[in-house]
Amino acid sequence: MRYAEAGYNLEVDLSTGNIERVETDPKLMETHLGGQGVNAKIIWDRVKPDTKPFSEDNLLIFGAGLLHATPVVGCNRTSVNTINPMTGIFGHSCMGGHFGPELKHAGYDRIIIRGRAPKLVYLYIHNERVEIRDASHLAGKGPGETTSLVREELNEPFAQVACIGLAGENKVLTASVEHGYSSASRGPGPIMGDKRLKAIVVRGTKDINIAHPQELFELCLRMKKWINDSNGCGDWMAVDEDDSFHHNNFAWGYSRTRIKNYWSEELQDRWTHWKYDNMDRQAGCYNCPKGCINVISWPGTKRFGYKCYGKDTYHMAAFKELDYTYGMLGQCLDWGVDSYSTPQAISLGIELYDSGVLTDQDIPNFPTDPGERVKFLLEKIVHREGIGDILANGSWWASRMIPGAESFEHNTVKKMEQLPIKLGKLNPAYYLMIATGEKMAITQIEGSFPQDPIRDPVKRKEFVDNWDAAPYQKFKDMFMNWEKRDQISIEDTCALTDWNEAMHYIDDSTGLCGFVSSFRGQFGGQVAYSFNNVPELITLATGMEMDKEGLWEICRRNRDLVRCINNRLGMRRVDDDPPKDHWAVRDPELEEKLLDAYYDFRGWTKDAVPTKAELHRVGLDYVADELIQLGILDPNEGTPAQEAAKAEEQKSGGC
Amino acid sequence: MGEKVKKIVKTIRVDLDKCNGCRGCEIACSAYHATPKYSAMNPSRSRIRVVMDQFNDEYVPIRATDYAKAGCDGRRIYTIKGKQYSECSFCGTICPTREMFFDPDSGLPLQCDLCADEKEPLCTQACPQGCLTYVEMEVEEEDKEEVKMDEMELGMKALLDKFGVQKVADTFNRIAQKG
Ligand code: SF4
Ligand code: SF4
Ligand code: SF4
Ligand code: SF4
């Protein structure tokens, strides 16, 4: 019997209409867990490097996490992976809500979609019954309307729906997949549009078997109470109205302008009223007691839900206040656009116009008020009209398509917009995470080791003593000895980056939410999930033996595999590069040392490709073989330190 | 006439505003009622369901209760605090007109038994948010023999309501003859 897993994939070819239910190899759980881990393996095996993102051969995979549909609390992130048309590399994307667990109850661990439908369709899944259905009546509709229409016509009030809005249909590269008030950005939206797949509707009524059900259930019931009461879990921005951090520290407009003393008590008071006077509730995701999603009914717009910093990006792009964003979000949700990248593409457009690179000929009737301008360009982008057709590709591509614009673009890594953070002095850990991460958002990389040291030694000690999430003593020692943000050894920087990343690789493969796990530990240290308890949960759910070291090894394998997919798509050391102006004061020598040390730590070559020995170690020999065959990996090349030692030896040899 | 006796009435109080839509109640109820206990969890076997429409901000947990044709006050649309709730949202009956509260495999009805063997129902335990709270009230009422239907009777009743006497009788006869 399979535990925790459904044991089947659903294969859908939209070009031929072929649908298959395919039993999966149980070994994959042992090597990659589930979710993004297994999705990456499928993409390595089946999406060849010459595949264009917008082609029938690109896959779009909705993967449930290994622990979805078990009692594990706060476990609901569905990994949606594809080749991201904006970056041209593996698209890391996930969404909360209820989709993954429902999919498992329908009897599938993932849906693998290839091809392109001849016309707009949606996919309907009710256990074994799977149909590709006409969606022409849903064209241009937003997620609210789409969801209720399909539920009604299928008579499935309990079905879960993931869909795209107009932006996705028009293949806007910053479009997202919408599911309730959760969304999956960074790639899947435009791919779903390209495949002419409007929506996936899933309803499942089957059991998922658990290896040690009673123990797991009782443990999870206790954890649910603990998470509910804990300040160390969930999005604190849902309850703390002091948002001086983003407004005083992040850059406004096209990530250029910092307003250091923006926040005030008077402003906080006014914004708090806007929020609570118009809030319907704070909603959560499947099996989680937290309420991170603020649901707002703002006069004149459709009801919307947002999390976290999602409420800031539009007004910060337009130099407005919260009421401006509230006035926008209903429409943004309806169109299905990501609120991180889109405002930056828009504000690049505004900057280009103000600089004379774009003229009235390029943008006829362009308004003068910045708020009106943002709305104007958003509408053009979503409809891919005029200048919007160019900006719809994101700021990196737009700046290369508009003559004279390239030098203006300044806030991308690997062609994708980053958070608008512009700081003074280089921060080694953040340098490494932003440079080498390939998840395109720092929030998907950072998160376990605190961002800043605690100055007061007594408080520091207290923190460390209560720090249950720290996987090894070395992290506690590291923190005890840490005095100044930028003064931390290269070795420690690599180790903490590894821990931060590994936690996200746990979440992506099990389906846990970062707010109870990978992202949240850095703030206060009191987070629900860590290397100290996830192995036990995996064992109880799956019956598979698991410990800290074993779990870390899987994370390492999954991380290497994603890197190899991207190497095969052309990514190298030069691409491991933060935005030039992320820090005003850079330290090129230290940065090179950090990169070398990180590649050493990971077992990668100087050019950022996992070595043959590393791939052998994590059981990915078949990956090494292909990289060698393609000429991407030299089988004799070691890590930077190994190569340096070899060179030393050659110098002293022969005498 | 029966004597007046004191009785403990157990019930679950619902505070709609506190529901965050986590469906932990569904998970817990289905796990508790699985055979063997906790062996599987499956919200579609739960005796409590959250009628949920996020875009309409509708979150209504309802527990499966007895169905009587006469008891139906129709498919109504309620408007509470200016918000419209869709038809049947507040109705907890094992109503033959909808899929809810019938076991997806056997088709048998699922009824809330208030987790009689437990100190506290599982669904309220799984709701630390406080949307569901367990309450015991002491009431005085006349002592009358309560006829409780067992599971088979409940199942029969649902079948009769759904298909009518004739169809059920025909099917019963056919199966009985084959057996
Ligand atoms: S912590 Fe918040 S975002 Fe995460 S699963 Fe719970 S409710 Fe959803
Ligand atoms: S457990 Fe409570 S909060 Fe969660 S869905 Fe059920 S009633 Fe609502
Ligand atoms: S669910 Fe059935 S019994 Fe309840 S109101 Fe609707 S039709 Fe009537
Ligand atoms: S009281 Fe028990 S049987 Fe009734 S809905 Fe709650 S968990 Fe289910």
Calculate how far, in angstroms, residue B123's C-alpha sits from the geometric centre of ligand 4.
6
Could you identify the atom of ligand 1 that is nearest to the CA of residue A514?
4
Spacing, Cα B38 to ligand 4 middle (Å): 14
Whether residue B121 has its Cβ less than 6 Å from ligand 4: yes
pLDDT of A653: 65
Minimum CA distance residue for ligand 3 atom 2: B95
| Atom of ligand 2 minimally distant from the CA of B52 | 5
**Same domain? B72 vs B135:** yes
Q: In whole angstroms, give the CA distance from residue A129 to residue A143.
A: 23
With 0.90 as the threshold, say if the pTM is over it: yes
**Cα Rg of chain B (Å, integer):** 18
Q: Is the CB of B113 under 6 A from ligand 4?
A: yes
Report pLDDT for A170: 98
Q: Is residue B3 pLDDT above 90, yes or no?
A: no
Please check whether residues B114 and B160 belong to one and the same domain. no
Residues in A 200-259 with any Cβ partner in B closer than 8 A = 204-210, 213-214, 216-217, 221, 224-225, 228-229
Q: Are residues B171 and B129 in the same domain?
A: no
Supply the range of the domain harboring residue B161.
Answer: 149-179
Q: What is the pLDDT of residue A548?
A: 98
Q: Which domains are assigned to chain A?
A: 8-203 (3.60.9.10), 237-415 (1.10.569.10), 427-648 (1.10.599.10)
B31 lines ligand 4 (CB under 6 A): no
- Minimal CA–CA distance to A14: which of A63, A42, A56, A65? A56
Q: How far apart are CA A185 and CA A176, in angstroms?
A: 4
Which of residues B87 and A89 earns the better pLDDT score? A89
Q: What averages of pLDDT result for each successive group of 10 residues across chain A (655 residues)?
A: 96 98 97 98 97 98 98 98 98 98 98 98 98 98 98 97 98 98 97 98 96 96 96 92 96 96 98 97 97 96 95 97 98 97 98 98 98 98 98 98 98 96 93 95 94 95 96 97 92 97 98 96 92 98 98 98 98 97 95 98 98 98 98 98 94 66
Q: To which H or E segment does residue A457 belong?
A: helix A457-465
What are the tokens at A106?
């329908």
Q: Are residues B140 and B153 in the same domain?
A: no
Give the Cα separation of B126 and B136 in Å (integer): 18
Which ligand 1 atom is the nearest neighbour of the CA of A520?
1
Residue B92 CA: which ligand 3 atom is closest? 4
* Separation in Å, CA A249 to CA A10, A345, A373, A444, A484: 45, 20, 24, 20, 19
Q: Closest by alpha carbon to A418, among A392, A445, A398?
A: A445
Residue B160 has pLDDT above 90, yes or no: no
Residue A283: closest C-alpha in chain B: B20
CA distance A100 to A106: 10
Give yes or no: residues B132 and B166 share one domain.
no
Asked if the C-beta of B38 comes within 8 angstroms of chain A's C-beta atoms, the answer is: yes
Classify the C-alpha dihedral B124-A240-A451-A481 as positive or negative: negative
Beta bridge partners of A122: A133, A199
Pair B86, B117 in one domain? yes
Q: How many domains does chain B have?
A: 2
Q: Are residues B107 and B36 in the same domain?
A: yes
Instruction: Tell me the ligand closest to B132's alpha carbon.
Output: 2
Residue A298's Cα: distance from chain center in Å? Answer: 28
Checking DSSP bridges between strand A8-13 and strand A110-114, what pairing results, if any?
Answer: parallel
Cα distances from A484 to residues A260, A294, A427, A582, in angstroms, run: 22, 36, 10, 19
Q: Do B125 and B98 fall into the same domain? A: yes
Tell me if B21 CB under 6 Å of ligand 2. yes
Kindly indicate the confidence band of residue B8, based on its pLDDT and cuts at 50, 70 and 90.
confident
Question: CB-based contact (8 Å) between A180 and chain B?
Answer: yes
Interface pTM, i.e. ipTM: 0.94
Band the pLDDT of B179: cuts 50, 70, 90: very low
* Contact between chains at A143 and B104 (C-beta distance less than 8 A): no
User: HSE-up of A300 (CA within 13 Å, CB side)?
Assistant: 6
B17 contacts in chain A (CB < 8 Å): 281
Whether residues B123 and B81 fall in one domain: yes
H-assigned helices in A517-583: 534-542, 548-568
pLDDT (average), residues B60-71: 89
What is the β-pairing status of strands A412-413 and A416-417?
antiparallel
Whether B161 and B78 map to the same domain: the answer is no
Cβ atoms B130, B18 nearer than 8 A: yes
Residue B143 pLDDT: 67
Dmax (CA) of chain B: 57
Does B41 sit within 8 Å of A289, measured CB to CB?
A: no
Check residue A398 and give its pLDDT: 98
What's the token pair of residue A233? 């879990």
**pLDDT for the residue B78:** 82
On whether both B131 and B177 belong to a single domain, the answer is no
Give the minimum alpha-carbon distance from B75 to chain A in angstroms, rounded to a whole number.
Answer: 15
The pLDDT of residue A513: 97
Instruction: Determine the distance separating the centroid of ligand 4 and the alpha carbon of B111, expressed in angstroms.
Output: 8
Pocket test for ligand 4, best of B63, B65, B134 (most atoms within 8 A of CB): B63
A172 lines ligand 1 (CB under 6 A): no
Q: Is A342 helix (H, G, I), strand (E, B) or coil?
A: helix
Residues B29 and B98 in one domain: yes
- Taking residues B49-68, what's their average pLDDT? 94
